[in-house]
Chains A and B, each alone.
Chain A
Amino acid sequence: MMQDQKKKVLGIALIGVALAVLPFVIGMGFGNAWIRMLDFALLYIMLALGLNIVVGFAGLLDLGYIAFYAVGAYIYALLASPHFGLHWPLWAILPVGALIAGIFGVLLGTPTLKLRGDYLAIVTLGFGEIIRIFLNNLNAPVNITNGPKGIAGIDPLAKNIEIFGYPLHSLYLIYYLFVALALLIVFVTMRLENSRLGRAWVAIREDEIAAKACGINTRNVKLLAFAMGASFGGVAGGLFAGFQQFVSPESFGLFESIMVLCMVVLGGMGNIPGVILGAVVLTVLPELFRQWAGPMQMAVFGQTYIDPESMRLLLFGIALILVMRFRPMGLLPSSRRKAEFEHAEEGAQA
């Protein structure tokens, strides 16, 4: 038992050190563009973990999830930009963004309580588009969102600083901020997974009628899943706005929703490490393809036949198909069963 505790502490310490030095290693090896990518990967981890609560745990197929990301992003944009002349600090905005996104989650959840599977997917898809179209058109008669032009000049999350005379790019500070928040979300999700509510979500996913018969108030528990998932999306959205310093409706299209859903499914629905892996792979892989596709063609054929940009999507599609063909449960499938099995064996030996 002590041994396990020690191992656990050691493991956490190692992960902590690795996360702390990672941006410097990448920054020195590949340049700031890759740190930026790393920051994006962390944003997507937060998003994917939020969607995982809805899709992975509660089994509610949501194709409009990016709407909550948009809500969070616009909340940040409105409260910290010259658009309204407001300049709230980050720590004040994030909770507001999470709360409002959560309310939007309940707004989406309430009318769809009786829907499942394909039907729910269609309604949520519509919801995602409605939010985007609203953002696109809320510039008249009162200019709230600045329409398709988007909101620019958003307050940055961090500035370049100097530590002991060494200049430190803001990307590093943003990285640490994102890591901290992503870890917080991982922590919350893990705690919820192994709780009474986590079990209720999975029960609804497995058999809603039986869940009701077990005394679960499926309405409340489903709304809670929507609200939790949405609020994580809202936090990620706020960070996105501060990171890009610009938001416009076109960042929140259906393709983004599908992308986040792919991360959840490809990584392993319902499994937290799987979802994290899915988010990282799907952020990094397309960029790698983009960077390699051009030079590789040059090296092999002496000229570029296919535009690297379109090549990127092609290779991305092939990679998705391969994963689904050879690992249909995802890269890291849910270990729920395995963990429970080991627990029972321990019990039998004791």
Chain B
Amino acid sequence: MTALLQARNIAKHFGGIRALKDVSLTINAGEIYGLIGPNGAGKTTFFNVITGLYQRDGGDIVFAGQPLHVESPHEVTQAGIARTFQNIRLFAEMSALENVMVGRHLRSKGSVIGAVLRTATVRAEEAAIRAKATELLAYVGIAGKAGVRAASLSYGDQRRLEIARALATEPKLLALDEPAAGMNATETAGLRALIEKVRTDGTTVLLIEHDVRLIMGLCDRVAVLDYGEKIAEDVPAVVQKDPRVVSAYLGVPYEQ
């Protein structure tokens, strides 16, 4: 099994608060990798460091065999990491289809002059963008909502749309920040099927989640963060029984 993403000794601090302390972890190609931890453990910070939203204060990242130099998030996306957001960030006034079309920006080239002259190349590219976006909407199961304004979609559909938009950038690694937050049981089951489908079709998945049942059932391996440190990393069955994990989540058993 080859490593897709290797993070070594990642550190990040905000003023005096050390949000991440030497976190190292390896995500293998083709797996669904879970990242869990209590609130404030540093999950989203780690996520933002990997996706370029934050600049790391230490450590290095190797992605797909290349060191990941992060100046801006769009470069990370270019390298092949796409993400969704904990509190959904869609282009509210654009239609679902347009949202996904924006995701194709990186994989298309149309310039100002091409757009104004509407050259054959640009027309073909636009048609391809539209076709790909339509296909992705169907892929995530909201084909019928193409023309609906993103803000008017149901919560579950917004989550799906965000995934479709991320997939439009053709990522090697799809990073999902609490995708099941606020979903009911049916929606969560649907999401789980979707994530499994994404993996089967060849995209590695990094998943931050609070829903422990979802994580344990879905992930191949799980890392646990607590106070900015990695306290465990293994298959779900082992992590679940790790005493440090249990104490981080449930507190230390009272002993006399």
Q: Which residues of A contact B97 (CB under 8 A)?
A: 340, 343-344
Do A215 and B77 touch across chains, with their CB atoms under 8 A apart? yes
Whether B147 and A342, one on each chain, are in contact in the complex, defined by CB atoms closer than 8 angstroms, is yes
Q: How many A-B residue pairs have C-beta atoms within 8 angstroms? Tell me.
A: 129
- Determine the residue in chain A with the shortest Cβ distance to B114: A195
**Does B102 reach chain A (CB closer than 8 Å)?**
yes
- Min distance, Cβ B72 to any Cβ of chain A, angstroms: 7
Residues of A within 8 A of B77 (CB): 212-215
List B contacts of A214 (CB < 8 A). 74, 77, 102-103, 105-106, 165, 168-169
Q: Which stretch of B38-46, B59-67, B84-92, B198-206 is in the interface? A: B84-92
Q: Report whether A340 and B82 are in contact in the complex, using a CB–CB cutoff of 8 Å.
A: no
Q: How far is the CB of A215 from chain B (nearest CB, A)?
A: 3
Contact with B along A318-350 (1 / 0, CB 8 A): 000000000000000000110011111101100
Once bound together, how far apart are the Cα atoms of A342 and B147, in whole Å?
7
B238 within 8 A of A: no
Contacts of A280 in B (CB 8 A): none
State which of A187, A188, A216, A336 has its C-beta within 8 Å of the C-beta of B105. Answer: A216
For the residues of A in contact with B, the DSSP-based class is helix
| In the complex, per-residue mask of B106-139: 1 if CB is within 8 Å of any chain A CB, else 0 | 1110111011111000100110010000100000
Taken together as a complex, chains A and B put the C-alpha atoms of A198 and B112 apart, in Å, by 10
Contact partner of A210 (CB less than 8 A), chosen from B89, B98, B134, B148, is: B89
> Are A216 and B106 within 8 A (Cβ)?
yes
Query: Is the Cβ of B73 less than 8 Å from the Cβ of A197?
Result: no
Expressed in whole angstroms, the Cα–Cα distance for A214 and B101 within the complex equals 10
Chain A residues with CB under 8 A of B91? 202-203, 206-207, 210-211
Please tell me the number of chain B residues within 8 Å of chain A, measured between CB atoms.
49
User: Contact between B89 and A218 (Cβ–Cβ < 8 Å)?
Assistant: no
Q: Are A213 and B115 in contact (CB under 8 A)?
A: no
Instruction: Say yes or no: B74 contacts A215, CB within 8 Å.
Output: yes
* Least distance between A295 CB and chain B CB atoms (Å): 45
CB distance from A46 to the nearest CB of B (A): 16
| B149 contacts A by Cβ under 8 Å | yes
Partner of B98, one of A188, A191, A211, A340: A340
A199 within 8 A of B: yes
- Asked if residues B122 and A195 are in contact (CB atoms below 8 Å), the reply is yes
Mark out the residues of chain A between 195 and 251 whose CB falls within 8 Å of any chain B CB in the assembled complex: 195-200, 202-203, 206-207, 209-219, 224, 228
Contact across chains for A216 and B93 when beta carbons are under 8 A apart? no
Tell me, yes or no, whether A192 is within 8 Å of chain B by CB. yes
> Which residues of A have CB within 8 Å of B85?
209-210, 213
Residue among B114, B116, B117, B134 facing the most chain A CB atoms (10 A cut-off): B116
Q: Give the residues in chain A near B122, CB-CB below 8 Å.
A: 195
- Interface size of A in residues (CB-CB distance below 8 Å): 37
Closest to A210 in B: B89
Q: Which residue of B lies closest to A189 (CB)?
A: B116
Complex Cα–Cα for A197 and B90 (A): 18
Among B91, B111, B118, B144, find the residue whose CB has the most chain A CB atoms closer than 10 A.
B91
Across-interface contacts of A228 in B (CB, < 8 A): 112
CB distance from A254 to the nearest CB of B (A): 29
Q: Which residue of B has the minimal Cβ distance to A340?
A: B95
Interface contact B105-A191, CB-CB below 8 Å: no
A347 contacts which chain B residues (CB < 8 A)? 134, 146
B102 engages A337 (CB within 8 Å): no
**Given contacts A212-B73, A345-B147, is CB(A197)–CB(B110) below 8 Å?**
yes
B93 to chain A, nearest CB (A): 6
A218 to chain B: closest residue by CB: B74
Residues of A within 8 Å of B144, CB to CB, are: 348
Q: Is the CB of B102 within 8 A of A188?
A: no
- A203 and B102 contacting across the interface, CB-CB below 8 Å: yes
Q: How far is the CB of B97 from chain A (nearest CB, A)?
A: 7
Taken together as a complex, chains A and B put the C-alpha atoms of A340 and B85 apart, in Å, by 25
Indicate if the CB atoms of A196 and B108 lie closer than 8 Å.
yes
Provide the residues of chain A in CB contact with B146, threshold 8 Å.
344, 347
Which residues of the other chain, B, contact A340 by a CB distance below 8 angstroms? 94-95, 97-98, 147
B224 to chain A: closest CB distance in Å? 26
Tell me which of B93, B105, B107, B116 contacts A200 (CB under 8 A): B105
Whether B102 pairs with A341 at a CB distance below 8 angstroms is no
A337:B95 contact, CB within 8 angstroms: yes
CB distance from A315 to the nearest CB of B (A): 33
A144 and B149 alpha carbons, distance in the complex (Å): 52
| Apart from A337-B93, A348-B144: 12 A-B pairs, beta carbons within 8 A | A195-B126, A199-B98, A213-B53, A213-B74, A213-B89, A214-B77, A214-B102, A214-B106, A216-B105, A340-B94, A340-B147, A341-B147
The residues of B with any CB-CB pair to A shorter than 8 Å are 51, 53, 72-74, 77-78, 82-83, 85, 89-95, 97-98, 101-108, 110-112, 114-118, 122, 125-126, 129, 134, 144, 146-149, 165-166, 168-169
